[in-house]
Amino acid sequence: MKHFKTITEMYKTNGFPPPENPLLGVLTFEDIKGCNFVYSEFTLGFYKIALKKMKSGTLMYGKTKYDSDTGSMFFMKPDQIIQMNDIELEDNGFIIFIDEDYLINHPLHATIKKYGYFDYEANEALHLSPKEEETIWNLFNKIREEYYNNQDNLSREIMIGYIESILKYSSRFYNRQFLNRTILSGTIISKFTEILNAYFESGNLQKHGLPTVKYMASQLSLSAGYLSDLLKQETGRTAIDHIHLALIIEAKNILMSTDNTVAETAFQLGFENPPYFSRLFKKAVGITPTEYRNQFLN
């Protein structure tokens, strides 16, 4: 599998026109019309933001197929695996490549990692409405205009500002996408609860400890980031919050129905560290496990 360490290397290998800046690539599909990707499977050493419309072929990153039914945006962080087979693109699309070094000494160098959709899977792409697509295109065209306009000492700051605006608008549009998929959200929440209950009832808490968000997401065929953001938008709680909430309910049942000590309850729930369990319980309930049990004793 090929790893493209730099933007320039990727451009040169695939026959793209040379980048104006080795740390920032700005392309439309028209720019690379007639070019063919030499490698069908590769990784990039830099960020990628793309608005893609595909006529044919398959695109995957991670282990998931890209949903190309509509014009969609997706976001990739460095070192994610991309697979492309027999790709034919529509003329209307763009790609922005950003080397981390381009962001050094700018706040986006740190904050870009806070945009959770860089960890989403391909089938969790952002599907834009026509108005939203127009907004993104307007920002991209401002970047492109600056990119090809004899870059000076202010160009980097201006272009990063527009890139940051694309990321912020994308966060807003993802929130809309979550809200518009309320049926999906409700189904996911129900399935999430079913999987948690099955995990508890199977004895996996004792064998493997608390289920991770990654485990729960894999059971739902979602990425951990997308699952957590979906639940947060729908319920106000993240995936880990839901896991802890279910755990606290189970802990209350044990405390009320058995004579187990707090430590024994913690071990039964998969905690190797009883004090951590007590802190988590108090944070959620407002009192310690012992105080919770005692308030029901005569």
CA gap 201, 126 in Å, rounded: 36
Confidence check: pLDDT of 61 > 60? no
pLDDT one-digit tens code per residue, 119-154: 776 667 888 888 999 999 999 999 999 999 888 889
Handedness of CA 272, 275, 276, 281 (dihedral sign): positive
The pLDDT value recorded for residue 183 is: 43
**Among 27, 215, 229, 6, which residue's Cα sits nearest to residue 115?**
229
Of 180, 215, 245, which one is at a domain's C-terminal end? Answer: 180
| Domain identity same for 49 and 76 | yes
Q: How far is CA 95 from the centre of its chain?
A: 19
> Domain of 147?
2-180
Q: Write down which residue in 153, 180, 207 finishes a domain.
A: 180
Verify that 22 and 161 share a domain, yes or no.
yes
Of 5-19, 110-124, 204-218, the range with the highest mean pLDDT is 5-19
173 shares a domain with 138: yes
**How confident is the model over 172-177, as a mean pLDDT?**
84
> 259 and 163: one domain?
no
pLDDT of 234-280, one tens digit each?
Answer: 677 888 888 888 888 888 888 888 888 999 888 888 787 889 889 98
pTM, to two decimals:
0.66
Looking at every residue in the chain, the average pLDDT score rounds to 83
If one counts the domains in the chain, the total is: 2
Same domain membership, residue 197 and residue 175: no
Residue ending a domain, choose from 119, 148, 180: 180
